[in-house]
Amino acid sequence: SDSASRLSMEEKKGCPESNDVDHSNGIAKRKSKTMVKPTLSCAYCVPFKLKGTALDGKDKFASLETIDKIEIEYSVHTLHSIIKRHCKQIFPGLYKQVKGGKKDLPEIVCIPTFQHCSCDMLEFTDEAEKEKDKLLKSFYAWCQAVCAELISQGFWADYIDPCSGYPVLGSSGSSTYNEVEGMQLLLRYRHQQVGMCKVILHPRWGQRIYPASMFTSAPVDAIQKAVKKVEMKFAKKNIV
């Protein structure tokens, strides 16, 4: 929202909840809640599976590679009402039929992630493009590992392809996920208008970031355990 984008960075750092204002009475309504504050996750030599990703067909020789090091900041949030409304078109496979022919959306949470990068993501140099591809693969690898842990426990999980806005594991719907809007609503980070594009601004890294999101029906404790399990499985000490 425009009001969220005008908030100062100092206000955002100390504000764990995202609110919309009901202008009829001036009362702020809670729309989402931060379940896990931004936390850094590290993993080493994580396998990257190419099939089914946006790179499928583009980079035929990347299917067996591993990502040497992943440093990704993640947080967990209940869905803002706007995001929840959009999810009905983004994840059509989530729905189940209920009485009256209506479709019910299970309770899910959003896990926005950021990776710090050396290049400005608005640059279109060869160096910047290579870094974008590397960070895209790192995001895929991290999400594939975490989603596998959650799905093995019976939870639904999927992640958004940053290149298209569509889910990677499930079927695509009639809408795509807007990362910038999602980051603003959940984290209340500012954005910068660059031409026709909005660029999210991280409180520490500015626009030198690679943002992307994951969604799951798992509770917070299961998410944190899955992340920790991935970190332990792909810990630096395990490298031979």
pLDDT at 47 over 80: yes
CA gap 185, 79 in Å, rounded: 9
pLDDT of residue 7: 31
- Compute the average pLDDT of residues 7-30: 38
For helices 220-233 and 126-152, give the axis angle rounded to 10 degrees: 120
Q: Which of 45, 133, 38, 115 is nearest to 77 (CA)?
A: 38
DSSP letter assigned to residue 236: G
Strand partners, 32: 18
pLDDT of residue 240: 57
CA 131, chain centre distance (Å): 18
- Integer angstrom CA distances of residue 12 from 15, 58, 188: 5, 39, 6
Residue type, 160: I
Kindly state the tokens that stand for 25.
Answer: 């009475």
Range in 19-33, 80-94, 186-200 with the lowest mean pLDDT: 19-33
- Compute the average pLDDT of residues 170-186: 92
Residue with tokens 């355990």: 225
Q: Which of 167, 140, 231, 186 is nearest to 34 (CA)?
A: 186
CA gap 112, 18 in Å, rounded: 14
Kindly state the tokens that stand for 64.
Answer: 């067996």
Q: What percent of the chain has pLDDT over 90?
A: 55
pLDDT of residue 216: 97
> Using an 8 Å Cβ cutoff, are 129 and 190 in contact?
no
> Using an 8 Å Cβ cutoff, are 43 and 70 in contact?
yes
- Give the pLDDT band of residue 176 (cuts 50, 70, 90): very high
Q: What is the pLDDT of residues 80-126, one digit of tens each?
A: 999 998 888 999 888 654 444 556 667 899 999 999 999 887 788 88
pLDDT at 36 over 60: yes
pLDDT of residue 13: 38
pLDDT of residue 18: 47
Which residue pairs, CB below 8 angstroms and at least 24 apart, start in 173-181? Answer: 173/88, 173/89, 173/90, 173/91, 173/92, 174/89, 174/92, 175/86, 175/89, 175/90, 176/90, 177/86, 177/90, 177/213, 178/86, 179/112, 179/211, 179/212, 179/213, 180/211, 181/82, 181/83
